[in-house]
Amino acid sequence: MLIQQLVNGLTLGAVYTLLALSFSLVMGILGILNLAIAELFMIGGYLGFTLITAGFPLPVAVLGGMLGAAAIAIAIEKIGYQPLRDAPLVTPMLSTLGFSIILQNVATNIWGSDPAQLPDEYFGKQYALGPINIGEMQLIVLVATVVLVAVVAYIVQKTPMGRALRAVAENREVARILGVSADRLTMLAFILSGSLAGVAGVLIALHYGTITPYLGVEIGLKAIAVMVIGGTRQIWGALVAGPLIGIAEVLTVAYGGSQVRDFVVYGFMILILLLRPQGLLGGARSDQGQRV
């Protein structure tokens, strides 16, 4: 029973990891919270859902959700972030909030506010590993998360593009003086972040087999907590913090009641902010945050 809970928590945590990474790519490099990421996640989920029910295979659905979310992320960067780049931090954050209001309204109008259901035959297969039951989709979520985190880590750590990204994160002006195109990399950060959110959306929608336009709001705030706990400058931080929070959540629901769940998660986040502001694995420091 306990092991089963751990597996379920791990799956939830994997999705948190992807979404937290999506938040932290923008946060770590530009220092702003892109609140629309939660809705990109939801839109990605719907796109994947629609493609699957239309009979397309899973990889197409994942790709569709990813590209759709990335395309919207580009629009957000061009319209909502770029012109407000030198405004106080809260201004671009609220313009991304504007996008999130629009996206949620559009999703409600297209797909309706009632939950969309996936027929049971999709990914309903269960594998028994001794005492644990692990669903086909659960397995896919876990594997996809590990692969995606590895890909992002590779891009950020090993490629020239990633080095440029980290340079901009470190000091935008100096990076520009050294010939890095900060604008192009800002766009890149948004695209990477949007793609991750889209994929995460498809995965969670198919894992739960159901989706509502309010999916993003519920999971988005948690993902921000996971980002803080993992630290915003370390890719691997999210990989540790996601499962940690996922498991903590599932365990508090199982043994403490579902009501105390949020209390535990956000309490932990505040403790981390106060005691270890650079996150579990180190990185950006919160006592050097930019001015609002």
Rule CB under 8 A: say whether 114 interacts with another protein: no
Asked if residue 89 binds another protein (CB under 8 A), the reply is: yes
CA–CA dist 81, 32 (Å, integer) = 10
Angle of helix 2-30 versus helix 215-230 axis, rounded to 10: 80
- Can you state the percent helix, strand and coil of the chain, rounding each to 5? 75, 5, 20
87 binds another protein (CB under 8 A): yes
Separation CA 25–CA 279 (nearest Å): 15
Candidates 85-93, 114-122, 130-138, 140-148: pick the segment binding another protein (CB under 8 A): 85-93
* Among candidate residues 36, 20, 23, 21, the one with its CA nearest the CA of residue 81: 36
- Under the binding rule (CB under 8 A), the answer on residue 97 touching another protein is yes
Confirm if 211 and 42 have CB atoms less than 8 A apart: yes
Does residue 120 bind another protein (CB under 8 A)?
no
Does 221 help bind another protein (rule: CB under 8 A)? yes
Measure the CA angle with vertex 100, ends 96 and 102; round to 5°: 115
Q: x/- binding map, residues 31-60, to another protein, per CB under 8 A?
A: xxx---------------------------
Backbone angles phi, psi at 129, to 5 degrees: -115, 90
Total interface residues for another protein by CB under 8 A: 51
Question: Is 115 or 277 the residue whose CB approaches another protein more closely?
Answer: 277
Q: Please, are residues 30 and 188 in contact by the beta-carbon 8 Å criterion?
A: no
Per rule CB under 8 A, is residue 225 in the interface with another protein?
A: yes
Of the ranges 65-73, 143-151, 193-201, 273-281, which one interacts with another protein (CB under 8 A)?
A: 273-281
* Interface residues toward another protein, by CB under 8 A: 27, 31-33, 79-80, 83-84, 86-91, 93-95, 97-102, 104-106, 108-109, 221, 224-225, 228, 259-263, 266-267, 269-270, 273-274, 277, 286-292
